Structure 1
Amino acid sequence: MNKKTKGVLAGVAGIALLAGGTTFATWSETLTQNGATITSGKLDITGVSTPVWYDVTAGRSDAAATTPVTGRAGHTIDLATWRTVPGDSAEATYSFDVALEGDNLAAQLDVSNLRVVAANGGTAAFKIYDGNRNEITSKLVGGKLTFVGPDAGADLRGAAGNVAVDKTTAADVHVVVTVDFASDKAADMSATVYQLGEVGVSLTQVAGA
């Protein structure tokens, strides 16, 4: 065997030895980052104060007060002792605080179930006002109003028909109920001329509009 052949064989043997007897380490690295906290929003409605009834009959000489939202002249009354006669008119305000927190939160206030009906010579109706005492009855759609909170995006807050609420106003919506006893309905009036049912509202989340 010549020297050239011996050199080739030695080289092959050396490669085989390296392949079978040596290990290679792979690199690795670990990285951690701070976690995050996700906080839920809020949807809530609460009654504000106890409704006060006023006698707002026109022409009363003792009209020493005004109703809190509509500003009608009158005086406070206790329905347990107040005795109505044809031509009288009474009014009360039911106020609610709406709390909405959420970037994509819109909620409908449902007043369609207000039990305000005519009975025994008395007729009743209601109007809706926002927290600034601006009438928004015209924004009712099927007895419902769509509210958005202060965290909502510009597209929600700017949508036509949506009513914006904030975190500071004590009452965001007022339901003003008026009961009238027409003078030409005297024959229809009985001992119990009118019984007002529950005045309640509900708030339900809806898809943003």
Structure 2
Amino acid sequence: MKNSALIKGTAAIAVGAALLLGGGGTLASWNAEATGTPGTVIAGDLNVTAATGTWTDRNGAAVNISTYRVVPGDKLTYTQVLDVILTGDKMAANITATGATPANGFDPANVVVTAPALTVGGVAVSNPLKTSKTVTATITFEFLSTTTGRSDVTKSYNFGNVAFALNQVTQTGLS
């Protein structure tokens, strides 16, 4: 009996200790909290808007593209003023032309379409742009004088799908 009472007493002490340590009791612990002031994160902006563009021939004379008919040796230049908005620390973007490929209606061997040349106030600039500015973009379309026979006679090149795209690029320090 004494062993039974000893076992029961030991078991009762163990259960009591377990309750105290397991949350059933009141062991003290200290806690503290402080409120930080991390501020607000604000997103930047990237946007481009375009004014009405103009076409000129090799000599700089204005061209009405809807009625002008190119012949081998012609070189036409499209000029577009773009308002570029780049807001944000480490913001950078490239201006590209989309939809301007030699195979757009003509035999690619007979046409050269350039990537946009960029200027600001008449001074050449290059991609990537890093600040907001008004940029003049020019693309040239050249119907090569080496075109022979009747290649590309009465064909058309649709510039209706050409657009200027502003695409963010990663600057040093970003990953």
The Cα of 1:193 is off from its aligned counterpart by 4.6
TM-score (norm 1): 0.50
Structure 2 residue 93 is the aligned partner of structure 1 residue 116: no
Give the unaligned 5+ runs of structure 2: 1-38
Structure 2 residue 46 is the aligned partner of structure 1 residue 43: yes
Match of 2:129 in 1: 147
The Cα of 1:101 is off from its aligned counterpart by 1.6
The Cα of 1:123 is off from its aligned counterpart by 0.9
Maintained 8 Å contact 1:46/1:96 = yes
Provide the C-alpha distance between the structure 2 equivalents of 1:114 and 1:134, rounded to a whole number of angstroms. Answer: 26
Name the aligned partner's letter for residue 45 of structure 1: V
Match of 2:83 in 1: 97
TM-score (norm 2): 0.58
Name the aligned partner's letter for residue 155 of structure 2: T
Provide the C-alpha distance between the structure 2 equivalents of 1:95 and 1:88, rounded to a whole number of angstroms. Answer: 23
Q: Which SS does the other structure have where 2:61 is aligned?
A: strand
Match of 1:208 in 2: 171
Map Cα deviations across residues 55-102 of structure 1 (whole Å, 9 max, x no partner).
Answer: 22xxxxxxxxxxxxxxxx332121222223333222211332211122
Identity percentage of aligned residues:
22
Change (3 A) 1:78 1:44: same
Maintained 8 Å contact 1:109/1:146 = yes
Name the aligned partner's letter for residue 79 of structure 1: I
Q: After TM superposition, what 4+ stretches of structure 1 lie above 4 angstroms from structure 2?
A: 36-40
Aligned residues: 132
Map Cα deviations across residues 120-172 of structure 1 (whole Å, 9 max, x no partner).
Answer: 47413224213133445xx5xxxxx32212xxxxxxxxxxxxxxxx4xx4x22
Match of 1:86 in 2: 72
Name the aligned partner's letter for residue 125 of structure 1: V
Match of 2:152 in 1: 189
Name the aligned partner's letter for residue 46 of structure 2: L
Maintained 8 Å contact 2:70/2:143 = no
Name the aligned partner's letter for residue 158 of structure 2: Q
Name the aligned partner's letter for residue 49 of structure 2: T
